[in-house]
Structure formats: structure tokens, C-alpha cells
Amino acid sequence: MRKLPFAFALALLVCAAGLGPSIPSAAAAGPGTKVVIVVGAVQGTTSQYRADADNAAAVFAKYTTNIVKVYSPNATWANVQAASSGAAVLVYLGHGSGYPNPYVSYLQPNGDNGMGLNASAGNGDSNLKYYGENYMAQLGLAPNALVILNHLCYASGDSEWGQGRPSLATAQTRVDGYASGFLRGNARAVIADGMGSIAPYIDALFTTHQTIDQVWRSAPNFHNHVTAWNSTRNGGFLSQIDPDLDHPQSDGDYYYRAMVGQPGLTTDDIGLVPTYAATTYHPLPPTRVLDTRNGTGGIGGPIRSHSAVTFSVAGQGNIPAGATAVTGNLTVTQQTSRGFLYIGPSPSDYPPASTLNFPVGDDRANAVFVALGPTGTLSVTYAAPTLGPTAQAIFDVTGFFTADTSGSTYHPLSPTRILDSRNGTGGISSALSSHVPATFQVTGSLVPAGATAITGNLTVTGQTSLGFLFLGPSAADNPTSSTLNFPVGDDRANAVTVALSGAGTLSVTYAAPTLGPTAHVILDVTGYFTGDQTGARYVPLYPSRIMDTRSGFGLAGAFSSHVARAFNVAGVAGIPAGATAVTGNLTVTAQTSRGFLYAGPNAVNDPTSSTLNFPVGDDRANAVTSALAGGTLGVTYAAPSLGPTAHVVFDATGYFVGP
């Protein structure tokens, strides 16, 4: 039994005067701060732990509305991982297997130093499986996240009840080890309090400007017997232990308070992500700024799994030093394992969101709106199920944003089909032949003359050979960049943000390995830019997960085919009530039938355009730029029949406001 006996564990305390009125936030943590509370499988004590967790949630609720609970008997690893993505604060109450322990003489990183969760959902509170530090590293927490571990023994250096007092060296090994996985998963401080209340930590986090060390030392159960050392498992982190030498437990042990954190980390830093000013857009012809196959971008050779790489964007080509975000196309090739790529403004070995999901042996691309880091860089991570696999990554920029009024502003539209070569929509009435570009008019009744660029969704179907599509303002028989990569027999889509020609046209090329193959092409437009200030301006965001049906975040439960649903976008992840459109990444998983997802401002059971096409057994993502209706986004899963289900995930990358 890897826990402290509940008779010796103090319940989570709420202020004696009750919850009282909501206290305005004084620290960086604010109303949108994401908090995840996990209760593991603790046999007969689980009901009390759930009550303790609810008490903690009530304290958090004074400061934030973004609280996600994952409790036994449904606290499976899949549910915990999905819920934890992007969390600024993670609280765990439950069992934990630490190291060293009396059972195995060596560290088991898949089982030690983590959480005791449900092996399967809905099968009771004794259905226990340990998920160790290697799993905790995959939580995908927000940058500078805080983890609070409550009611565990090993996490704070203790032995299990009745095992007696460990040596100081053993306690230190346990403290360092237990923090290691969470720190690899983006946490920057881990507080382990086996017997005290965490309410004071919560209040201090949201109402004070002080270091996390000061928060830990000012807790009511601080004993002032601190031993501190540079962590042996976690470079750059300081470990501390605060034994209750004056009141040891009846078996002689007193190690039940510890903390591992970055020196100087403050309450203002927890979950802090960059903020960006409103911007205007400057479209570009597709420009390659990263290709690991040949060293473009300064990264030569494949990317290794869970090793983030950073490259310069601002200052490259026609992208100015003052750019704060870009649009572009991210492509993966030569991957040696399934997984996903993440692209964002800061490096993360275990990122909190995904950009491009893929299997082995499939060149695949996805469009992005992505904020740049403070020095004009982007970082890419290849996340495979294990360490070791490699992949090549390519990134083409199609435009950039600047925090001024020198560029174009945006006008969102409901998704509207303007090209379909299967029926002649758009003036192209037959399949495209390989390496023969086709040009079509975009401006007219829907998109006005003078528009500089559009957003939309490009889809291929009926292709007779593998290859790629290129979409751009100029016709190209042999394009040097790709928009949409695909095999045979797979309807596939990719979002686009693309400059228009001076005549308001676009050209599309199907590039197969040889001349002769054909393919049908579809384009749905979702908005356009004009070179004036009559439209909306763009505000980039750090990629943030705002909906995941697997964990009930945003929407709970899988989508049923042809049953439209809407979820809140405004008011989440810093997106204001006045936002008119959102950019992000839409992902499907666990689908029971082929089909497509539609995302748009209105919930439509039988949509006439598609956003993301997919078969069975393939996690797949596509970028979205969509108007909002009343601050919500509608999503539909459309299968060939009623009955099939699918889980859906949405990561926001920015929003439009104004004019």
C-alpha cells in the first residue's frame, strides 16, 4: 500500500470562515488558469480522497473557472494525459510507487515516481495500475507548470507507513526521482505535501507575488528544518526537504514535506505564456525556411523523438525582424515511427498540443497559424511513443503578421465551396493532369475585388497516383513547395492561407512522380484578407488545448455521426468575448468509421463542406480558421451512416478581433 494512512493525513482545509467571496487575482494566475485535479485508485479511501479533491477544487474556484477533474474510477492514463495537456497547475491525490522501495531493487521508470491510476475505466477504486516517471513526462503541462502531490509518501521522501524512517540519502533520492517525470513534462516546481492542506498553496498562488520557495516555506505546516541540495536527477533545479523533527510519526518517520523547483520561480511565472498584440497580415509566395533533409534553417539531419529543435524565422527571406507570427505549412517525411509534430514559439520536448499527426510511411502536411518566440524563432518537436525514432521536417512560410496597421485585415466567412473539379464549380470541370497547373477566379461575388489573400481548405480526391498539390498565386508546372501531400485511395485535406494574384486568381498544380496521373481538387473558402483596416486583426496565442472529448474538456463524450455540437471558444485560454474568428488545429481520434469533420460558426448536422477527411484507424489533424457565432465553434462528424462515433480535439493558436 503505497500511501500514508488516512488517519495520519490532514484533510484539505478550507478557510474557517467558509469560502467567502471571490478574491481578485493579484498574481499572474487568473480566471483562465487551467487547473487539473486527479484522484487515483486508493481502494476504500478513495471516497475520502474525492471529497478532499472537491474541497481543493472549491478553493481553486475562487480564482479560476477552468478546473478539470479526473477521478477514480475513470482516472485512466489516457484520461489523465488528455486532461493535463496545457494545465498550469496539476494536483494529484492517490497512491504512488517511489524509488527506492522494498519491492524491487532497481528503478522502474514506467511504474515508479508517478501516479496510481485506474487500469481501465469504470471498474472500481481497486482497479490499480502504476504509471511512472516516463508517463509523467508525457503530460504536456503548460510552460512553468506547478505540480502539487498530496497524500503520497514516497514523493516527499517518506517510507510507507510502518516501514520506519529512511536515511536522509534515501529520502533525497525519492524526492529527486519523484519530481523528475513531472519536470520533464513541463513542470518547473513540484511540491509534495503528504499530510498537510494544500489550500494555503492555492491561495498564495493566486493572491501573492512571491517565489514558489516562499510559498512553500510560508505554509502553516512549515517546520523550519530545511535541507537543500542541487537536484541530482534534475539539472538546474533545487531540491528541499523539511522534516518534522519535533513531531515524528509513531513509526519514527518525519519526511512528509518536500519541494523541487527552479530557483527564482514566482507565482507570476506559473503557467505564464507569451502574450501578443493585435497584428495585421502580409501574404507571401510560399517560402521554405526549414528542411532538415538539406540543412535549410540551420538544422541538418533528422529530428530525434522528444528532442525539440529551434530555428530562425524572422529575418529570413522576406520575413522582417519585427514579425510576431506566421502562416505556413508543416510537412513530415521519412519518419521511422508513428507520432506527431508540434510547432510553437518555444521548445518543448513533451509538448502540450499537437500540430501534425501521422503513421509510418506517409508524407503528411498541415497548415499552421503560429506565434513566433521573442527572438523570432520557432521550435519543432517530433513526439513518437518512445525515444529513438527520427523524422525529417519541412516548413514553408506563406505569410507573416506584424503588430501594426501596415498589413491586411481579416473578414471571416461561413465555409463556402468555390472550386470542385468533379462538377465544374469554379470553372474547372475535369480532373487535373499531373504537372499541368489550372488557374481559377477567386474574387467576385463572395470574395471582393482587391482581396489580398484567403483562408480555406484544399481537398484531393480520386487521385490515380501518390503526389502533392500546390496552391499559390502563380501557375507552376513543377512547384518547389507543397501544400497537400497524399497517397492513392485517401481523400485528404489541408487548410490554406494563401496570397491571391493581382487579378484575384489562384493556381493549383497536381504533382505526381510522372506525367499522366490525374486528381480531382476541391477548395472551400473560410475568409479573406483586404489591404485596409476594415476587417479584424489577429492576436497570436501560445498553442492551447481548449476542447478534448476524451477527457470531457470543452465537450464530454464522443461525437455521434451527423449530430452537430458546439463548444465555447470565447472566454477560454485568453480568447475574449468579442473574438470574431479563431485559428487552431482540429484532430480526430478513435473514429469507428471513415468520414469527415466539419468545423464552422454554426452547428450543422449535414454540412455541405468538409474540414478534415479521414479513414478508420488514423489519428489525423487539420488546421482551422473559422468564424465564431456567439463565441462558439460548431463541429460535426459526418460518417456514411448514423451510429459511428469519434473523439475530437481542438487546440487554439490565435483569434481575430475587431474591426
Given a cut of 50, is residue 2 above it in pLDDT? Answer: no
Q: pLDDT at position 572, please? A: 81
Q: Which residues contact 138 (CB under 8 A, 6 or more apart)?
A: 81, 185, 350
Tell me, yes or no, whether 178 and 299 share the same domain: no
Give the N- to C-terminal CA distance of the chain in Å, as an integer: 60
| Same structural domain, 447 and 579 | no
Question: Any idea which of 251-255, 313-317, 597-601 has the lowest mean pLDDT?
Answer: 251-255
Domain termination site, one of 481, 496, 529:
529
Any domain includes 404 = no
**For the chain, how many helices (H) and strands (E)?**
6, 37
Position 283 in a domain: no
| 29 part of a folded domain | no
H helix intervals, 186-341:
199-207, 212-217
> Each residue of 397-410: b (16+ CB within 10 Å) or e?
bbbbbbbeeebbbb
Domain boundary among 341, 371, 397: 397
Question: Mean pLDDT, to the nearest integer, of 566-579?
Answer: 89
Confidence band (pLDDT; 50, 70, 90) for 273? low
- The beta-strand segments (E) located in 246-324 are 257-261, 280-291, 303-304, 309-312
In this structure, are 183 and 326 located in the same domain?
A: no
108 and 164 in one domain? yes
Q: Are residues 331 and 217 in the same domain?
A: no
Residue 272 counted as domain residue: no
Q: Are residues 554 and 477 located together in one domain of the fold? A: no
pLDDT of residue 1: 31
651 DSSP 8-state letter: E
User: Is the distance from CB of 623 to CB of 584 less than 8 angstroms?
Assistant: yes
Evaluate whether residue 373 is within a structural domain: yes
Q: Which of 545-559, 578-592, 610-624, 630-644 has the lowest mean pLDDT?
A: 545-559
pLDDT value of residue 16: 23
CA distance 597 to 607: 9
Residue 185: predicted pLDDT:
81
Residue 182 belongs to what H/E stretch? helix 168-184
Given pLDDT bands bounded at 50, 70 and 90, which one contains residue 275?
confident
Indicate if 542 and 509 belong to the same structural domain.
no
Residue 91 included in any domain: yes
Mean pLDDT of 537-557: 87
CATH of the domain at 364: 2.60.120
Same domain flag for 382 and 415: no
Q: Is pLDDT at 550 greater than 50 in this prediction?
A: yes
Judgement on whether residues 380 and 294 belong to the same structural domain of the protein: yes
Residue 266 lies in a domain: no
What's the domain count of the chain?
A: 4
* Boundary (domain end) residue, out of 495, 529, 563: 529
pLDDT tens figures, 301-314: 999 998 889 999 99
Has residue 269 been placed in a domain?
no
Q: State pLDDT tens for residues 90-129.
A: 999 999 999 999 999 999 999 999 999 999 999 999 999 9
Mean predicted lDDT score pLDDT of the chain: 90
Residue 586: give the domain boundaries: 537-657
User: Both 79 and 178 in a single domain?
Assistant: yes
State yes or no: pLDDT of 180 exceeds 60.
yes
Same domain, 179 and 246: yes
Phi, psi of 60 (to 5 degrees): -60, -35
Q: What is the pLDDT of residue 29?
A: 53
Closest CA to 631 of 653, 655, 609: 655
pTM over 0.75, yes/no: no
pLDDT band at residue 556, thresholds of 50, 70 and 90? confident
Q: Which residues contact 20 (CB under 8 A, 6 or more apart)?
A: 62
Do 382 and 484 lie in one domain? The reply is no
Q: Is residue 232 predicted with pLDDT exceeding 80?
A: yes
